[in-house]
Amino acid sequence: MTPRHALRNLYLLLAALLLGCLLQAEEELDKDTSRLVRRSEKLANSLVDIQSKETSMIPPAVMQKAKGLIILKQYEAGVIFGAKGGFGVALRRTPDGSWSPPAWIKTGEISGGLQLGAQKLNVVLIIMNDDGLKMLNKAKFKIGVDATVTRGPTGANYESNMSDVADIFAYTVNEGYYAGATFEGGVLLPDRRSNEVSYQRRLEISEILASDSLESPFFFERTLKLLGEIESGSSDEF
């Protein structure tokens, strides 16, 4: 084999390897995007579950005053914020009254302080003031430590007043029974891979929530629509 043929074969081999790497990366991205599509649908269904019951329904008056929120889906939990299979998003109210792009988060390991037994749990945390909102600027945050949490008022006809505003109002539905009125000790962490897939670059939670140029992923449209319907008090899904 001549040097020229050997060099050509080397180029062909390198090109084949590069193409293989690109195809593998594209396949992994497609899988990750499909995973986030499924997760977004589950979070939207969590909102529907919560709003479908009078005992957990988020009142329009509460949502109208919300400065931020966290939606969580938890599986196989020994306590509310167990470490097995928990995922969710955080959002922040923008100056024009809409919602920021979602920042993906996941649950971290915690200890004690809650009733046991929930196997599947839907949670929405409504951030009501600036003190609660500051929690989202941290790399990780601990529910009940970085911000105080209490069970939120429920019902479609509830009218808010300043005397019952906490840092965060919590709303939950689980398969089984109500898993406790307080939410002490829940650690939430950034889901860096999910955020990178959603926005095609590495961003911190605070950067996503503060951005005025990012667009929400297409697969999050139903969730944003439901949030608007909770705020207006009207929906065909509830």
Domain contains 13: no
Beta strands in the chain (DSSP E): 68-75, 87-92, 103-107, 120-127, 141-143, 149-151, 168-174, 186-190
Domain contains 28: no
Element (H, E) at 192: helix 192-199
Domain contains 7: no
Range of the domain at 103: 49-232
Domain contains 55: yes
pLDDT-wise least confident of 20-24, 53-57, 136-140, 193-197: 20-24
| Tens digits of residue pLDDT in 30-81 | 688 999 999 999 999 999 999 998 888 999 999 999 999 999 887 654 444 4
Domain contains 25: no
- What per-residue confidence (pLDDT) applies to 11? 56
> How many separate domains does the chain show?
1
Q: When comparing pLDDT for 226 and 72, which is higher?
A: 226
Domain contains 14: no
Domain contains 3: no
| Tens digits of residue pLDDT in 81-90 | 444 558 999 9
Domain contains 97: yes
- What per-residue confidence (pLDDT) applies to 182? 40
Instruction: Quote the CA–CA distance of 26 and 209 in Å, as a whole number.
Output: 27
Q: When comparing pLDDT for 126 and 143, which is higher?
A: 126
- What per-residue confidence (pLDDT) applies to 31? 83
- What per-residue confidence (pLDDT) applies to 154? 87
